[in-house]
Amino acid sequence: MAKHTPPPLNPPNLIISKSEAKSLIEQRIRSGKTLLELQVNSDSDYENLKTEHQKWTNFNTEMFTRIFENKYYVEKYEWSEGLLVLKINSNLTDKTNFTRERLKKQTAYLSSFIESLELIPSTQKEQIEISPFNRQKDFTSISDDYINKDPEIETIFIDIVGFSKRQHLERLTVIEKLNKIVKNSIQKYSLESQFILLPTGDGVAISILTENALATINIASELRASFRTETIPVRIGINKSRDTIVKDVNDRINISGPGIIGAQRIMDFAKSYKINISESVYLTIKDRKDSSLFGDRKEEKDKHNNSWIFYEYEG
């Protein structure tokens, strides 16, 4: 019985913008050229080169899988090195040259791919903002009646630890998970409180119009648990103050004032999966039985030599 041969794949559309794809591939080319410069003077040096080259290749394959609608360009990339053959019992020089030749051909393919990128259709518009929330409706549930007013606001400031050190595709994955975690948590409280979500590039600030500090802490605690489940290390700071609600240069509702700044500052002093609470928040609940869940009073200075008082939430 004849084997069924699947039909050839058609050239697919990009599912990210062309400028984003170009930036990503240029980064991979730079990484490949860095590998080509590695010195190989011993078998252990060669094993390191071979291992790093395999990681680089696997990442590139995954990249082409993720940024296109099908695996058409994955197959193209996998054939880019041609039919190179390494002889049995090759010496160190031959093995090194073999791996470097593969690298050169793969890097050359990536370079030629950039040149043809303009001819490839994309499903996305240019200048897509890679941030947790891209649409105005995702940013806020606060009405325009609050514009230019300064109500009391509690802000949860969340930072993803080591975000800038992650590879591009990994950052996209983490941001997707951040979106889901934050939105799912906020939906549970959105009927009780009005809020603003502000992307920070490597995290998010959640500003809430509420007088219930314990509820804010509970939200932060639930978020931390969700991030821990997804193994995404975060630092969290919570502060309370009168901040001004404004329209920013993009005509989006934003927050300006000491509250959101303080939330970021005390967050900076937190370690992975820790929540720091400002003194203004702590004082509103210190007489409750829940106060036993807080550590000792701490005072630290930031990079501007300003002092900040906070408590670590141990719940």
What is the DSSP-derived secondary structure letter of residue 307?
A: E
How crowded is the C-beta side of 210, counted as CA atoms within 13 Å?
A: 26
Cβ contacts of 259 within 8 Å, gap of 6 or more: 153, 154, 155, 207, 239, 240, 241, 242, 243
d(CA 144, CA 123): 33
* Predicted pLDDT of residue 126: 46
In the predicted structure, residue 148 carries a pLDDT above the cut 50: yes
Determine the pLDDT at residue 134.
38
pLDDT, position 133: 39
Position 267 scores a pLDDT of 94
Average pLDDT, stretch 153-175? 87
61 and 177, same domain (yes or no): no
Report the interhelical angle of 43-67 vs 92-115 (nearest 10°).
20
* Final residue belonging to a domain, choices 119, 144, 175: 119
Whether 293 is covered by a domain: the verdict is: yes
Q: What angle do CA 207, 238, 134 make, to 5 degrees?
A: 35
- Same domain for 97 and 45, yes or no, is yes
Position 260 scores a pLDDT of: 92
Closest to 237 in 3D by CA, of 227, 228, 224, 226: 224
Asked whether residue 69 carries a pLDDT value surpassing 80, the answer given is yes
* pLDDT-derived band at 298, boundaries 50, 70, 90: very high
Looking at residues 152-176, what average pLDDT do you find?
87
Rg (CA), the chain: 25
Rounded Cα distance, 157 and 312, in Å = 14
CB 156 within 8 A of CB 205: yes
Q: What is the pLDDT of residue 231?
A: 92
User: Looking at the predicted structure, is the pLDDT value of residue 137 above 80?
Assistant: no
The phi and psi torsions of 238 (rounded to 5 degrees) equal -125, 130
- What mean pLDDT is reported for the chain? 82
Judge if 250 and 140 occupy the same domain: yes
Distances (CA, A) of 196 to 149, 237, 262: 14, 16, 17
Q: Which two three-digit tokens encode residue 84?
A: 């190179």
Residue 280 in contact with residue 242, Cβ under 8 Å? no
Q: How far apart are CA 292 and CA 262, in angstroms?
A: 23
Which pLDDT tens digit goes with each residue over 199-227?
A: 888 889 999 887 777 888 888 999 999 99
Same domain, 157 and 70: no
Least trusted range by pLDDT, from 23-37, 107-121, 283-297: 283-297
CATH number, domain with residue 248: 3.30.70.1230
Vertex 170: Cα angle to 165 and 176 (nearest 5): 120
Which residues are CB-neighbours of 71 under 8 A, at least 6 positions away?
9, 64, 65
User: What pLDDT shows up at residue 250?
Assistant: 74
Residue 220 DSSP SS3: helix
Long-range pairs for 248-252: beta carbons < 8 A, 24 or more residues apart: 252/136, 252/139, 252/140
Residue that wins the pLDDT comparison between 139 and 236: 236
> What φ, ψ does residue 232 adopt, rounded to 5°?
-110, 105
Encode pLDDT of 105-136 as tens digits. Answer: 999 999 988 888 888 887 755 443 333 333 33
Residue 58, domain extent: 18-119
Q: What is the domain count for the chain?
A: 2
Identify whether residues 107 and 161 lie together within a single domain. no
> Which has more pLDDT, 255 or 211?
255
Torsion-angle region of 203 (φ positive above 0: left; ψ -120 to 50: alpha; else: beta): left
Same domain, yes or no, for 164 and 214?
yes
Counting residues of the chain whose pLDDT is more than 70, the rounded percentage is 86
Q: Note the pLDDT of residue 300.
A: 92
Residues 168 and 299 grouped into a single domain:
yes
Full-model pTM: 0.58
Q: What is the pLDDT of residue 127?
A: 41
Which alpha helices (DSSP H) does the chain contain, by range? 18-36, 43-67, 72-78, 92-115, 136-139, 168-189, 213-229, 258-268, 279-285
* Claim to verify: residue 178 and residue 289 sit in the same structural domain: yes
Mean pLDDT of 223-234: 92
DSSP state of 173: H
Q: What is the dihedral of CA 51, 40, 96, 111, to 10 degrees?
A: 70
